[in-house]
Each structure stands twice: as C-alpha cells, then as structure tokens.
Amino acid sequence: MRTPSESTTGSRPPRTGGPGGRDSRGPGGGHGRPRDRRVYHRRKVCRFCTDSSIKMSYKDVDTLRYFVTERGKIIPRRITGNCALHQRALTVEIKRARNIALLPFMVTES
C-alpha cells in the first residue's frame, strides 16, 4: 500500500486520481510515524447480532431512531456496522414506521 509513504510526504504532487487518492489523508494523520500500517478503525459489530434481546419492530421507535440521522435518513451500515441481514430488516421497519407517522420521511431545518 502506498499510504504510509504518502502520509509523510503529503505535498508530493503526482497523485493518481481515482480510488487511491482517497486515503491520502486518513491514516498517519499528524504524528510522524511512517510505519503506521494499521488505519485506525473501530471494531464495528452488528448490535442485533450481539444482542438478540433487541427486537426490531416498527413500533419500537426509540430503537429505530438510533439508525436514522437527524434529518430522518437511514444511516448506512458501513457507519452503523450492522450486518447485511439486519440492515435489510431494519430498513423495512423504518419505512413502515415512516408510513404510519412514527418516524419522519424528512426533517427540514428551520
């Protein structure tokens, strides 16, 4: 990977566009450790898998709210860390809750 070298010499002009350009800033950050191999990331686990006691239901708005932004959008699973199975089930429940006015479709900022 070219991330370590790039983090040290951030001002280097030749930068191939496309996907590589993305991680130019992320890993090394400020501290000058060139051999930082690991990008810091939080271990994400699906909270529905770990805790089977949480029941997903459109009636349980408080749980659903956790997976919705302030504007009412569904948070992608790359952020929440849900597994695909539960994310799919979750979107269905959120959409049901929206239909019956328990959750907003959209929140406009005033």
Partner 1 sequence: MKRYETLFIVQSELSSDDITAIIDRYSKIISDMKGTVLKVERWGKRKLAYLIRKQSRGFYILMDYAGNREIVAEVERILKFDDKVLKYMSVKLADSITAEEIERELAGQKAEAEAPAEPPATIKPASAAAAAPAPEATTEG
Residues that bind partner 1 (CB under 8 A): 58-59, 96, 98-105
* Residue nearer to partner 1 on the CB measure, 33 or 95: 95
3-state secondary structure labels for all residues of 26-84:
CCCCCCCCCCCCCCCCCCCCCHHHHCCCCCCCCCCHHHHHCCECCCCCECCHHHHCCCH
* Residue nearer to partner 1 on the CB measure, 6 or 93: 93
How near is the Cβ of 31 to partner 1 at its closest, in Å? Answer: 45
CA–CA gap between residue 71 and residue 91 (Å, rounded): 16
CA–CA gap between residue 105 and residue 102 (Å, rounded): 10
How near is the Cβ of 67 to partner 1 at its closest, in Å? Answer: 15
- Closest CA relative to residue 61, chosen from 81, 90, 87, 84: 90
How near is the Cβ of 59 to partner 1 at its closest, in Å? Answer: 7
* Residue nearer to partner 1 on the CB measure, 72 or 81: 72
How near is the Cβ of 56 to partner 1 at its closest, in Å? Answer: 13
* Residue nearer to partner 1 on the CB measure, 84 or 106: 106
